[in-house]
């Protein structure tokens, strides 16, 4: 029963409407992400795919200078993700971190 009506603060909405409202609510937060990737990286593709469904994502193919900077930050795996939040803070991590991605893709 995927299209069942659900009561929300302003009335009843179907699952399609709820999905659109949730997407718009996330966009209102004005979060966005910058993801450094490397070619042919499945973890990179998966991270970009998941986060780009809920916020604007800019991908950058890392070069030698980026790799050196990441090593100094003790990042040893790709992708390197920075999510910028509406309140001016940011969240940063490396590698495929499903728990981090879920923070932004699930309510």
- Residue 6 pLDDT grade (very low, low, confident, very high; cuts 50, 70, 90): low
pTM: 0.72
At 1 the pLDDT is 42
3-state DSSP of the chain: CCCCCEEECCEEECHHHHHHHHHHHHHHCCCEEEEEECCCCHHHHHHHHHHHCCCCEEEEECCHHHHHHHHHCCCCCCCEEEEECCCCCEEEEECCCHHHHHHHHCC
* pLDDT at residue 56 is higher than 50: yes
At 74 the pLDDT is 94
Q: Which residue has the tokens 């949730």?
A: 22
* pLDDT at residue 30 is higher than 90: no
At 43 the pLDDT is 97
């Amino acid at each position: 029963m995927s299209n069942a009506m659900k009561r929300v603060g302003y009335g009843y909405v179907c699952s399609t409407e709820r999905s659109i409202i949730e997407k718009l609510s996330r966009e209102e937060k004005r979060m966005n992400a910058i993801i450094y990737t490397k070619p042919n990286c499945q973890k990179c593709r998966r991270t970009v795919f998941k986060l780009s469904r809920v916020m604007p994502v800019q991908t950058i193919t890392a070069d030698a200078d980026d790799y050196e900077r990441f090593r100094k930050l003790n990042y040893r795996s790709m992708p390197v993700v920075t999510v910028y939040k509406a309140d001016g803070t940011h969240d940063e991590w490396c590698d495929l971190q499903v728990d981090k991605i879920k923070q932004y893709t699930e309510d």
